[in-house]
Amino acid sequence: MTNSFLLDGEEVPFTPGQTVMQAASAAGKYIPHLCWHPDFAAHGSCKLCTVKIGGRFATACTTRAAAGQEVENGTEELIAKRRTLLQLLFVEGNHFCPSCEKSGNCVLQATAYEMGMLSPHFDHFYPDRAVDASHPDVLLDFNRCIMCELCVRASRDVDGKNVFALSGRGAKSHLIVNSESGRLADTDFAATDRAAEVCPVGVILRKRVGFAVPIGQRDYDAKPISQKAVEKLADSEKEAG
Amino acid sequence: MSFELETATVASDNLRRVAIDPVSRVEGHGKVTILLDEHNKVHQVRLHIVEFRGFERFIQGRPYWEVPVMVQRLCGICPVSHHLAASKALDVIVGADRLTPTAEKMRRLMHYGQILQSHALHFFHLSSPDLLFGFDSEVSRRSIVGVAEKYPDIARKGILLRKYGQEVIRHTAGKRVHGTGSVPGGVNKSLSGAERAELLKDAYQMIAWSRDAVRIIKELHEQNPALYDSFGTFPSNFMGMVAPDGSLDLYHGVLRAKDAAGRILFDHVDYQTYDTLITEEVKPWSYMKFPYFTSMGPEQGWYKVGPLARVQNCDSIPTPFAEHERRELVAYAGGKPMHATLGFHWARMIEMLFAAETIKALLHDDDIEGTDLVVTGERRREGVGVIEAPRGTLFHHYQVGDDDLVTMANLIVSTTNNNQAMNSAVREVAKQYLDGKEITEGLLNHIEVAIRAYDPCLSCATHALGKMPLEVTLLDAEGQMLDRKYKS
């Protein structure tokens, strides 16, 4: 048997040890995701990459690819479930796209468009989350956090600083800053850290950038995330040689 | 303090109440209440603004660079005004004392695109049905649909003028409504050659159609001076922004005010000091404040802003066709200031022509394709931005902490500046047309015609989003409903 599996009926090759997500991405196939990033270990928390393998639900980012797997990805059933997950994320935080500087470059927003989300469907929580503007170069707007932990992983695994962590449990989970005061200014965080540019939504923002990129030139203005995500991955692999 | 007909002097229990709720063919949600005695004598007239939003509060605690995009959500008709007024205030905060030529011209282009679309919308869509058919004409015809049936050429030009203005905004701000083009210290884009060519293609047609629009309203004045000169007419002060040389400039300049006789009250005032000039009075029956010149007090110090104030406040208009038309208006008024409420329409169309001519001139300027877009300088903690929005002078005032978060916001929007003037206009019309008469829908529309002349944006004025249907309820002295009429 060759090292390949079927994704929505199309053959996808893999190398042993790859996950379904890694193999699909390498083959130019898009599986929706928020917490997965090719540069970091899989996290498996957002569940948006849920696919069906042999009729069972599984997260594509944590499931090893195996020869002969039959993987469902773009079915209406899975898209509907992903849409619900997105709606839950939108109502749990305060996501005001009209005045958010990340609009047009936001993975959450772009994925919601891709999944055909037209309304939040659920009642908003309207949580009361303060903005941390204490750092001279970077602003933290916790209103938009989706708890993907990419900043936690980047700060811990790449920057070696452990600036961010999740605290609380269940519905009370939230992102915190690892300093006695809880303020970013009281950590050794720097705007050059990997954690400063890994946030997929508008939580970790370089100050005084705002709306510098005009409408029409933002990441997802011309192409949907299903195309851009695949192109970005190909570009980064090309850069890595 | 209280003005004539603001508060009834007889017990209101003995008066019956007529309400126009909401006022139609204006932006936002407002109502007019009229108290009448058994002989239909008018005792009290009030224009109320009944909703409240509170942008000034929830801007606090947000990063300053977000404000020009967030605050424009006050309005869907002229969001560019708020976008630019906020940007101008934040230019002061980021120390951008002089923008690059490309940035200033792109902002001007965006602004004059907005003036064009907003004035066209108001004149053709909202007001022309009253002016072309008559204030008490058959109600079913009194809409843009009726105009399109009877005067298809006029309706078509109105729609296409507005569309062109929206296209100018799209190419400068990124979207027709709620774009992001203006940022603190400059802009985030210039025009491409293709965008410039696309806009230039129709620029001359827009000037020609704007000239036609001025002719329409001028002829209406000349055909019926008895109506146009006296309808809701009352004297007041004027205020507006002019260029330092006294010419009309709707984007930037200094504040100037004249009294009812046309004498200068103040001139060359730096708008950073606006809070020493103006006080805002709160009245218990309206969410809209009543501003007045502090030095003159609330009784004498209220004023008009907007097209009629601006066209008469300036010494000249820097584009040839509009300047010619300004002189015609001044000549018609006989050398004295025109205070006619319906004169707003004439002045508004002169400004639309000015906007069309200015757009053409800017499109011929190569700076519009420049690449030097943003400047910064010494950071400050406070800034005021003022712009002449389609409806009048608009003030944005912010304080920003060292952490870049907004700590204070104060907005005085154009329609708020006209609050007392609009109340005076409806009281004048009530006295002229309603007093002692049996109330009809046509007579009530006279009240609305007076309000519409100011092109009020009640959404902006209260930071409230409204709907436009009209409900008129007629109650007797015991509060029993006698009649109710709806129109949508």
Q: Coil, strand or helix: which one is A238?
A: helix
Query: Do residues A43 and A124 both lie within one domain?
Result: no
pLDDT of residue B14: 82
pLDDT digits (tens, 9 = 90+) for B372-384: 999 999 999 999 9
Give the residue, B52 or B283, on which the prediction is more confident: B283
Using a CB-CB cut-off of 8 Å, the residues of chain B touching A98 are 69-70, 73, 178
pLDDT of residue B482: 58
pLDDT digits (tens, 9 = 90+) for B317-347: 999 999 999 999 999 999 899 999 999 999 9
Check CB contact under 8 Å for A98 and B70.
yes
Check CB contact under 8 Å for A99 and B404.
no
Using a CB-CB cut-off of 8 Å, the residues of chain A touching B173 are 215
Query: Do residues A115 and A66 both lie within one domain?
Result: no
DSSP-derived letter for residue A221 is: T
Q: What are phi and psi of A153, to 5 degrees?
A: -65, -45
Asked if residue A36 is part of any domain, the answer here is: yes
Instruction: Give the pLDDT band (50/70/90) at residue B466.
Output: very low
Instruction: Give the pLDDT band (50/70/90) at residue A241.
Output: low
Query: Do residues A200 and A104 both lie within one domain?
Result: yes
Asked if residue A202 is part of any domain, the answer here is: yes
Using a CB-CB cut-off of 8 Å, the residues of chain A touching B59 are none
Query: Do residues A88 and A189 both lie within one domain?
Result: yes
Query: Do residues A9 and A62 both lie within one domain?
Result: yes
Percentage of chain B lying above the pLDDT 70 cut: 92
For chain B, the domains span: 12-52+429-487, 55-417
Residue B111 has pLDDT above 60, yes or no: yes
Query: Do residues A103 and A198 both lie within one domain?
Result: yes
pLDDT digits (tens, 9 = 90+) for B398-424: 999 999 999 999 988 888 899 999 999
pLDDT of residue B484: 57
Asked if residue A225 is part of any domain, the answer here is: no
Contact predicate B28/B443, CB 8 Å: no
Q: Which amino acid is at A53?
A: I
> Worst-scoring range by mean pLDDT, A86-90, A116-120, B275-279, B288-292?
B288-292
Which of A54, A74, A94 terminates a domain? The answer is A74
Using a CB-CB cut-off of 8 Å, the residues of chain B touching A211 are 65, 68-69, 180, 183, 188
- Torsion, Cα of A104, B86, B101, A218 (10° steps): 0
SS3 for chain B, per residue? CCCCCCCCCCCHHHCEEEEECCCCCCECCEEEEEEECCCCCEEEEEEEECCCCCHHHHCCCCEHHHHHHHHHHHCCCCHHHHHHHHHHHHHHHCCCCCCCHHHHHHHHHHHHHHHHHHHHHHHHHHHHHHHHHCCCCCHHHCCHHHHHHHCHHHHHHHHHHHHHHHHHHHHHHCCCCCCCCEECCEECCCCCHHHHHHHHHHHHHHHHHHHHHHHHHHHHHHHCHHHHHHCCCCCCEEEEEECCCCEECCCCCEEEEECCCCCEEEEEECHHHHHHHEEEECCCCCCCCEEEEHHHHHHHCCEECCHHHHHHHCCECCCHHHHHHHHHHHHHCCCCCCCCCCHHHHHHHHHHHHHHHHHHHHHCCHHHHCCCCECCCCCCCEEEEEEEECCEEEEEEEEECCCCEEEEEEEECHHHHCHHHHHHHHHHHHHHHHCCCCCCHHHHHHHHHHHHHCCCEHHHHHCCCCCCCEEEEEECCCCCEEEEEEEC
Check CB contact under 8 Å for B63 and A131.
yes
Chain A: residues touching B (Cβ < 8 Å): 98-101, 130-131, 133-134, 139, 205, 207-216
Instruction: Give the pLDDT band (50/70/90) at residue B368.
Output: very high
Q: Which domain holds residue A140?
A: 82-206
B75 is in an annotated binding site: yes
pLDDT digits (tens, 9 = 90+) for B238-254: 999 999 999 999 999 99
Distance from CA of B367 to the nearest CA of A (A): 18
Convert B267-284 to b/e letters by CB count within 10 Å (16 or more is b): eebebeebeebbbbeebe
Using a CB-CB cut-off of 8 Å, the residues of chain A touching B191 are none
Residue B264 has pLDDT above 90, yes or no: yes
Mutation target for B interface from A94, A137, A208: give the one with most B CBs within 10 A: A208
Q: Which amino acid is at B140?
A: S
Distance CA B464, CA B327 (A): 38
Residue B469 has pLDDT above 70, yes or no: no
Distance CA B461, CA B290 (A): 11
Contact predicate B427/B5, CB 8 Å: yes
Q: What integer is the mean pLDDT of A30-41?
A: 96
Asked if residue A237 is part of any domain, the answer here is: no
Query: Do residues A53 and A97 both lie within one domain?
Result: no
Q: Give the CATH class of B55-417.
A: mainly alpha
Contact predicate B358/B377, CB 8 Å: no
pLDDT of residue B480: 62
Asked if residue A213 is part of any domain, the answer here is: no
Distance from CA of A202 to the nearest CA of B (A): 12
Distance CA A219, CA A228 (A): 8
pLDDT digits (tens, 9 = 90+) for A207-227: 999 999 999 999 999 999 999
pLDDT of residue A12: 97
Instruction: Give the pLDDT band (50/70/90) at residue B465.
Output: very low
Instruction: Give the pLDDT band (50/70/90) at residue B464.
Output: very low
Q: What integer is the mean pLDDT of A106-125?
A: 97
Which of A21, A47, A74 terminates a domain? The answer is A74
CATH number at residue A51: 3.10.20.740
Residue B56 has pLDDT above 90, yes or no: no
> Worst-scoring range by mean pLDDT, A212-216, B39-43, B100-104, B471-475?
B471-475
Chain B: residues touching A (Cβ < 8 Å): 61-63, 65-66, 68-70, 73, 94, 173-175, 178-181, 183-184, 188-189, 374, 401, 403-405
Residues 6+ apart with CB under 8 A from B165: B113, B114, B115, B116, B117, B118, B120, B355
Residue A36 has pLDDT above 80, yes or no: yes
Structure tokens at B439: 């109330």
Q: What integer is the mean pLDDT of A175-188?
A: 97
Q: What integer is the mean pLDDT of A140-156?
A: 97
pLDDT digits (tens, 9 = 90+) for B440-463: 888 888 988 998 999 887 655 543
Domain total in chain A:
2
Helix axes B101-120, B152-173, angle to 10 degrees: 150
CATH number at residue A155: 3.30.70.20
Query: Do residues A22 and A103 both lie within one domain?
Result: no
